[in-house]
Amino acid sequence: MAKKLFIPGPVDVSPEVAAKMSEPMISHRSKDLYDLHAHLIESLKRLMYTQNHVITFTSSSTGVWEAAVRNCVQKKVLCVDNGAFASRWFDVAVACGKEADKLEIPWGSTVKPEQLDAALSKGGYDSVTLVHNETSTAAMANLQSLAPVFKSHGVTSLVDCVSSLAGVKIEVDKLGLDVCLSGTQKALAVAPGMAFASVSPKALEISKTQKGKGYYFDFIVHMKYWEKDHQTPATPSIPHMRSLDYQLTKILDVEGAENRFKRHHEMANTARSWAKKHFELFTEEWCASDTVTCVKNTRNADLSALGKELSAKGYQFSNGYGKLKGQAFRIAHMGDRKPEELATYLAAIDDVLKL
């Protein structure tokens, strides 16, 4: 039985978006593909509020972490570490042979401007990695307050918006983000398997001088092919391109981006109110996410049993991630999820736990 996915990715994909992946195949070296690619990039730029070029990758977003590090970290990177995914990006930087330091923030919180400023003031950093919306803890950073700190220190900003983009308004150009990366399987509500990043002129200039970038994730290689009739260096996932392009048209021209952001914010308020009524928020409320809520298991409920009961009712439950398993659980409210579906899911938890 197919379950409704109340997990923070992958999320449910609508039948019409999924159907775009099964259309007849076309050549990856054809005008049809080049036109599709060009339209997809323009739509992504609209969603990201940027004039910077956007590069697509047939990979998970983790691959684009590596791309950002290999292309843009020159000598030393500061990695903001406030959760499982932020910590893993640090591991990726080290694995890529870069000198990296952690700015450790307690799980359930995120970095404040003064903390970032103090860390960067120690000197020696040319870049920063930041997970905007830490999915393991549901903590969302305030990019508006952090962007001036990036600018004042002249660092290259590498920002993961994997679980926030398309659920929260992220104005890349106003914020001055150098690399803003995301993937298809969360708030965009497309099948997993494709990722992308907006890349600033500054990031491209740095990439030109970098060594040891490899080939597949080299920004400059991608730009050369783009400038040649909107091509890609390697065969892309054409089904993903079609599905994402179709979904972006729905987001931008049917629902409307602002309406989508509003819907996500309203669902977040619903989830947070429910959590505070029956449990506690794991996340500090000032930085609570609009796409996922992390609930502290103050009732000491058997979360494994809860997951099994919800599965029998047709729902996929999300236990705490990593060290939070059993101590907290997550409720995703992202993608094409509707407020009434969230309400029904919360009622199902009420029923199982006799709340």
Q: Are residues 232 and 312 in the same domain?
A: no
Token code pair at residue 41? 């990039």
What is the count of structural domains for the chain? 2
Q: Are residues 326 and 244 in the same domain?
A: no
Q: Are residues 278 and 130 in the same domain?
A: no
Token code pair at residue 320? 């705490």
Q: Tell me how far CA of residue 137 lies from CA of 131, 288, 323, in angstroms.
A: 11, 9, 11
Would you give the DSSP letter of residue 168?
B
Would you give the DSSP letter of residue 76?
E
| 101: β partners | 78
Token code pair at residue 158? 């590498």
Q: Stretch 291-316: mean pLDDT, rounded?
A: 98
CATH number (domain holding residue 224): 3.40.640.10
Q: Are residues 45 and 81 in the same domain?
A: yes
Q: Stretch 13-36: mean pLDDT, rounded?
A: 98
CATH number (domain holding residue 328): 3.90.1150.10
Give the residue from 164, 189, 218 showing the smallest Cα distance to 4.
189
Q: Are residues 96 and 231 in the same domain?
A: yes
Q: Are residues 240 and 272 in the same domain?
A: no
Q: How many whole angstroms separate alpha carbon 206 and alpha carbon 239?
A: 32
Domain that holds residue 332: 4-10+257-353
Q: Are residues 263 and 287 in the same domain?
A: yes
pLDDT beyond 80 at 1: no
**Residue 44, CB half-sphere, CA atoms under 13 Å: how many?**
27
**Residue that is last in its domain, among 253, 283, 305:** 253
Q: Stretch 63-79: mean pLDDT, rounded?
A: 98
Q: Are residues 286 and 228 in the same domain?
A: no
Which pLDDT score, from 0 to 100, does residue 279 have?
98
Q: What are phi and psi of 51, to 5 degrees?
A: -100, -5
Q: Are residues 169 and 285 in the same domain?
A: no
Give the residue from 250, 278, 239 showing the smallest Cα distance to 28.
239
**Residue that is last in its domain, among 203, 218, 253:** 253
Tell whether pTM > 0.95.
Answer: yes
pLDDT beyond 80 at 181: yes
Mean pLDDT of the chain: 98
Which pLDDT score, from 0 to 100, does residue 189 have?
98
Q: Could you identify the residue written with the tokens 């000198």? A: 99
pLDDT beyond 90 at 123: no
Q: Stretch 32-57: mean pLDDT, rounded?
A: 98
**Residue that is last in its domain, among 224, 253, 282:** 253
| Angle of CA points 159, 164, 166, to nearest 5° | 115
pLDDT, tens digit, 9 for 90 and up, residues 249-280: 999 999 999 999 999 999 999 999 999 999 99
Q: Are residues 200 and 348 in the same domain?
A: no
**Residue 257, CB half-sphere, CA atoms under 13 Å: how many?**
17
Q: Stretch 233-238: mean pLDDT, rounded?
A: 98
Would you give the DSSP letter of residue 195?
E
Q: Are residues 248 and 281 in the same domain?
A: no
Q: Are residues 160 and 282 in the same domain?
A: no
Q: Could you identify the residue written with the tokens 């103090």? A: 118
Give the residue from 129, 222, 224 showing the smallest Cα distance to 178.
129
Q: What are phi and psi of 294, to 5 degrees?
A: -105, 125
Contact 186, 12 (CB under 8 A): no
pLDDT, tens digit, 9 for 90 and up, residues 184-231: 999 999 999 999 999 999 999 999 999 999 999 999 999 999 999 999
